């Protein structure tokens, strides 16, 4: 027996629309991660590091996905218990996931029982098929269903097969969860308690975090980007800020983010992501209210607190533009 699972149903939904320029903006957001693939980054070996008792992570590079780095640009984590292993996120290619599986096997003989998906972005889920082949139970928030079956996901996968070959190829496929949840879920495995808490819509509609209450370890997915500029895309940044405020209330001792190193200074790192999003909204809201053209508003904005962070040049302008459109819609 591997644990008792309790489901607590809630429903969280998102309705987000943009006014003029929206169609062009959506196309740009879809293409952006692939355009980023031209940014060079050295390949990095996947080396698990123990960041807490029985808690391990592998850290992707702070770069943009490319064949050179094998799309290893996100983190994955796993928790080793006496009754099996729970993996959080599946990395950005089947080859990376297979490498992670081998690395786990060198650390423990325990089988991989569960995989929890924090959200259905490519750099976190293209490795799922390797875990499906093992028979692990995959759990995700049901908000990911809409993306999984969308034309956008299919087009993104096809483009990735071209831009990220050979790591993404014709054998790479989108894998649905075995268990779709709509609200908090608790389970125990080998004496370790797990809380799966939906926090979307924030970075995505299906954001899901994993909390270990006994040790106060929080796996935050892409709600927290540590040490780099987040990719905002079409996210509801207002709800994202609310989600960060909720994470602050968890009083985590250690945070494993979706990108960047683990954090023992959880509160300050949560607040940095929150402050960046708030700065985007405040700056672009004022410009939209004053009917100021975006280029002028962006040029005069003060980015000094954030411009030293990795990927600022690659991500900040499109983050600001999407936020400007969102604020413009709200100003109607």
pLDDT for 169-228, tens place per residue?
999 999 999 999 999 999 999 999 999 999 989 999 999 999 999 999 999 999 988 878
- The CATH number for 33's domain is 3.60.15.10
What pLDDT was estimated at residue 262?
95
For residue 104, which of 46, 170, 172 has the smallest C-alpha distance?
Answer: 46
End-to-end CA distance of the chain: 56
Q: Is 231 exposed, middle or buried (0-12, 13-18, 19+ CB in 10 A)?
A: buried
CA nearest 87: which of 112, 58, 50, 52? 112
Q: Position of tokens 């909204």?
A: 281
Find the largest Cα–Cα distance for the chain. Answer: 62
Q: Which DSSP category does 263 fall into? A: B
Supply the range of the domain harboring residue 267: 5-12+19-330
pLDDT tens-place string over residues 92-129 = 999 999 999 999 999 999 999 999 999 999 999 999 99
| Nearest partner of 152 among 70, 29, 236, judged by Cα | 29
Backbone angles phi, psi at 116, to 5 degrees: -110, 130
Altogether, the residues listed in the chain come to a count of: 332
Please report the pLDDT score of residue 43 as a whole number: 55
Residue 134 reports pLDDT greater than 50: yes
Distances (CA, A) of 195 to 71, 159, 205: 29, 35, 19
pLDDT of residue 310: 87
- Whose tokens are 């608790």? That residue is 186
Q: Count the domains in the chain.
A: 1
Q: Are 201 and 30 in contact (CB under 8 A)?
A: no
Adjacent-strand bridge partners of 196 = 185, 210
Q: For the chain, what is the mean pLDDT?
A: 87
């Amino acid at each position: 027996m591997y644990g008792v699972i309790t489901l607590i149903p809630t429903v969280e939904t998102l309705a987000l629309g943009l006014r003029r320029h929206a169609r062009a903006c959506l196309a740009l957001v879809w293409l952006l991660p692939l355009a980023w693939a031209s940014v060079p980054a050295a390949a990095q070996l996947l080396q698990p590091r123990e960041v807490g008792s029985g808690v391990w992570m592998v850290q992707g590079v702070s770069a943009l996905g490319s064949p050179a780095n094998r799309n290893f640009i996100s983190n994955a984590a796993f928790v080793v218990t006496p009754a099996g292993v729970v993996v959080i996120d599946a990395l950005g290619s089947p080859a990376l996931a297979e490498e992670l599986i081998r690395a786990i096997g060198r650390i423990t003989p325990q089988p991989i029982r569960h995989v929890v998906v924090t959200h259905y972005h490519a750099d976190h889920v293209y490795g799922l098929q390797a875990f499906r082949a093992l028979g692990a139970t995959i759990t995700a928030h049901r908000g990911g269903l809409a993306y999984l079956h969308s034309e956008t996901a299919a087009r993104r996968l096809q483009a990735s097969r071209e831009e990220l070959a050979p790591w993404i190829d014709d054998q790479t496929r989108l894998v649905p969860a075995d268990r779709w949840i709509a609200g908090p879920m608790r389970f125990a495995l080998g004496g370790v308690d797990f809380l799966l808490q939906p926090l979307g819509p924030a970075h995505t509609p299906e954001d899901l975090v994993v909390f270990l209450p006994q040790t106060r370890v929080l796996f935050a997915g892409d709600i927290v980007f540590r040490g780099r500029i987040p990719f905002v895309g079409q996210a509801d940044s207002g709800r994202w800020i609310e989600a960060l405020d909720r994470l602050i209330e968890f009083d985590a001792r250690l945070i494993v983010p979706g990108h960047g190193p683990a954090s023992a200074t959880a509160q300050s790192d949560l607040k940095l992501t929150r402050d960046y999003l708030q700065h985007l909204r405040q700056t672009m809201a004022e410009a939209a209210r004053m009917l100021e053209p975006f280029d002028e508003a962006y040029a005069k904005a003060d980015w000094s607190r954030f411009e030293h962070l990795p990927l600022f040049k690659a991500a900040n302008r499109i983050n600001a533009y999407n936020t400007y459109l969102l604020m413009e819609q709200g100003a109607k």
